[in-house]
Structure 1
Amino acid sequence: MTNRPNYIAWIRERVGHELIFLNFAGGIICNEDEEVLLQRRGDSGAWGFPGGAMELGESAEETAIREIYEETGLIVKVERLIGVYTKYVHHYPGGDQAQSIMFFFQCTPVSGELVTDGDETLELKFFPKNELPQLFVKQHEDAYNDWRSGEFGVCR
């Protein structure tokens, strides 16, 4: 397998803005007060759960751990799969379209400190479970609702 450090850029060079499948992984992270960590994203300014695109050769769990670290500064332990969310189409500001396949995990922080880069992550904040702001995509809302209701192993 060829190592492509930015798979999305590589595939977009070939297909332009056409609708493609993209795989993502991320997590719902709670602190000791059972508050939920959200990331205010640099691309949209909206709130969502930390996570991002899989690179070739990675598992969904490896992607979640790497992306959460890159976006938050936290090293996490994946506790369990919340679900796989597949029937969602996202239109990006630059015109790209993707049917995103997202693996959501329940995660626990192991070490690290919250760090924002001012680019991909504008802000990180823990919110009480019943006081979350509007999430930036339906995929995140569905995963959060499944997690809150105790549904695990969901496939949508």
Structure 2
Amino acid sequence: MEYGESFVDTLKREFKEDGGFEVTPIKLLQLMDQDFYTYPNGDKVQPINAFFLVKLANHKHFATKPTETNETKFWSLDQQPPHFFNGQHEEMWQILRKELDK
């Protein structure tokens, strides 16, 4: 999040920079502020994430930052991705599934 940015502005910018897609936020699903973990270098962090349901604004794909993104992939909601970076990502998947099952 850049100084002065809202969560929505950050969401749109990060999706475009890191995923290569323009998105439109639909709904805030959850504010996540109680996760703690330690990076391999020993840094301890408490990330704060606003988790949104989004939709593609268009089908144009933009170049991503090669230092931050190796690959983007869409997953069917019927098939959970085979691995997650951390427990927070698995929790986000479950929140999304619960929302879409309503």
Quick check: which one's strand share is greater?
Answer: 1
Structure 1 residue 115 displacement after superposition = 3.8
Percent sequence identity over aligned pairs = 33
Amino acid at match of 2:46: Q
Deviations 1:101-149 (A, max 9, x none): 1111011111221544432000111122223121112112112101101
Relative contact order (alpha carbons < 8 A, sep ≥ 6): 1 or 2 greater? 1
Matches within 5 A, 1:112-127: 112-113=60-61, 115-127=63-75
Structure 2 Cα separation of the partners of residues 141 and 128 of structure 1: 15
CA RMSD of aligned residues (A): 1.7
Quick check: which one's helix share is greater?
Answer: 2
Structure 2, unmatched stretches of 5+, are: none
- What TM-score do the two structures reach when normalised by structure 2? 0.84
Q: Which residue of 2 aligns with 1:48?
A: none
Aligned with 1:136 (options 82, 85, 92):
85
Does the CA-based 8 Å contact 2:17-2:64 persist in structure 1? no
- What TM-score do the two structures reach when normalised by structure 1? 0.57
Q: Which residue of 1 aligns with 2:25?
A: 78
Amino acid at match of 2:96: W
SS in 1 for 2:40: coil
Runs of 4+ in 1 over 4 A off after TM superposition: none
Residues paired across the two proteins, number? 98
Q: Which residue of 1 aligns with 2:47?
A: 100
Structure 1, unmatched stretches of 5+, are: 1-53, 152-156
